[in-house]
Amino acid sequence: MSILLNKDTKVLVQGITGNIGKTQTEYMIKSGTKVVAGVTPGKGGEKVFGVPVFDTVLEATNNYEIDFSVLFVPARVAKDSVIEAIESGINKIALITEHTPVHDTMVMKAYAKKHNALLIGPTTPGIVVPGECKIGILPINMFCPGNVGIISRSGTLAYEVAANLCLVGIGQSTVIGMGADMVAGTNLVEILELFNLDNETKVVVLIGEVGGSQEEDAAAFIKNKMDKPVIAYIAGASVPSGQRMGHAGAIVEGGKGSAKSKIDTLNNAGVKVAMMLNEIPLLVKELLS
């Protein structure tokens, strides 16, 4: 089993006719994903690798059952496209687009919540179920099937950690990138919950980074509700912190956000925190054996 996605998931690609949309649609199809339709306003009637393209999501949902929409749209239309997907009844959405204005992200997040939709991203690399299928941009040759769930705020770090696990013979159940924008449509805790319920997943690797308080929230969840062991890594421990402007950031974060805060809080929650990337495979191996 896997979380959120499997080979039967019917996927819509919004922004399918752009360069990235086209290329990644091809990769997704080759990885085993059921891409049933695409949308680009003004391009209705075209086909991309055999996938029919519609002008609107509504036309796509009128013609196909859709479980998941993945978006490769320009940042300036990301908000409109995500809300179009939600209003057309799609309740799982991955927004790959980077450089989305954070005020737009806040609207999308609130909109998704109001309509009980799950929005991963923006700037998510997507989700991969190794050996089965993927949505998004993750290069599948970095992954192999197995029992470790990976949740990462960074995209490329997720690839690295998965590939390093594969090197020592440890595969993954599902790997999911959350996107490291200032505000994420879905937070770490919500994905931890899903892994906690997934039979296939024995251990979870959580890859965080400095900024925000998602890791601190995750620590509280792990301590109180998580039945499975979690390994964590926080990127940016040795990075000199940027100069803050004003006080508002500090006040609203209330002392959270630094690598130290995150590592301490996770440690206190009983999570093993790898201080360097190359410690992760060792820690996972210990837990699996």
Partner 1 sequence: MRFQEYEAKEIFKEFGIPVPEGIVINSDSEIIPAIEKIGIPAILKAQVLVGGRGKAGGIRVVENLEEAVEACREIFNKKIKGYHVKELLIEKKLEILTELYCGITINRTLGRPVIMVSSEGGINIEETAEKNPNKIFTLYCDPLVDIYPFQIVNLVKNLGLKGDVLLKVSQIIGKLLQIFNKYNGIIVEVNPLVITNNKQVLCLDAVIQIDDSALFRYPEFQEKKFNQMDYSLQRLEKKGATYVQLEGNIGLICSGAGLAMATMDTIKSFPGLSPANFLETGGSITPELMEDCMEIVLERNVLKGIFINIYGGINPIHEGAKGIARVIKDRELEIPIVAKALGNKQEETWEILEKAGVYTYKKSDTHGAINYLAEILHLEVKG
The catalytic site residues sit at 247
| Footprint (CB under 8 A) of partner 1, residues 257-286 | 276-278
CB closer to partner 1, 118 vs 237: 237
Strand locations in the chain (E): 10-14, 34-39, 47-48, 51-54, 68-71, 92-95, 118-120, 126-129, 133-136, 145-152, 172-177, 203-209, 230-235, 272-274
Question: Should residue 199 be labelled a site residue for partner 1 when binding is judged by CB under 8 A?
Answer: no
CB closer to partner 1, 59 vs 200: 59
| Footprint (CB under 8 A) of partner 1, residues 118-147 | 123, 125, 137-139, 141-142
> Given the rule CB under 8 A, which of 3-11, 81-89, 190-198, 265-273 is the region that contacts partner 1?
81-89
Asked if 152 contacts 158 with a C-beta cutoff of 8 angstroms, the reply is: yes
Cis status, amide bond into 139, omega within 30 of 0: no
Q: Which of 96, 194, 205, 271 binds partner 1 (CB under 8 A)?
A: 96
Site residue total, partner 1 (CB under 8 A): 94
Question: Should residue 116 be labelled a site residue for partner 1 when binding is judged by CB under 8 A?
Answer: no
Question: Should residue 111 be labelled a site residue for partner 1 when binding is judged by CB under 8 A?
Answer: yes
| Footprint (CB under 8 A) of partner 1, residues 35-64 | 41-45, 55-59
User: What DSSP designation does 244 have?
Assistant: P
- Rounded Cα gap, residues 184 and 206, in angstroms: 16
How far is C-alpha 64 from the geometric centre of its chain's CA atoms? 25
Q: Which of 33, 69, 100, 196 binds partner 1 (CB under 8 A)?
A: 100
Question: Should residue 1 be labelled a site residue for partner 1 when binding is judged by CB under 8 A?
Answer: no
- Rounded Cα gap, residues 193 and 226, in angstroms: 8
Beta strands across the sheet bearing 34-39: 47-48, 51-54, 34-39, 10-14, 68-71, 92-95, 118-120
| Footprint (CB under 8 A) of partner 1, residues 160-189 | 160, 163-164, 166-167, 180, 182-185, 187
22-54 core/surface letters (b: 16 or more CB in 10 A; e: else): bebbebbbebebebbbbbbbebeeeebeebbbb
Helices (H), 179-279: 188-197, 214-225, 248-253, 259-268
Q: Which of 6, 34, 75, 145 binds partner 1 (CB under 8 A)?
A: 75
> Given the rule CB under 8 A, which of 82-90, 197-205, 220-228, 264-272 is the region that contacts partner 1?
82-90
| Shortest CB 199 distance to partner 1, Å | 28
| Shortest CB 288 distance to partner 1, Å | 19
| Footprint (CB under 8 A) of partner 1, residues 213-252 | 213-214, 217, 233, 235-240, 243-252
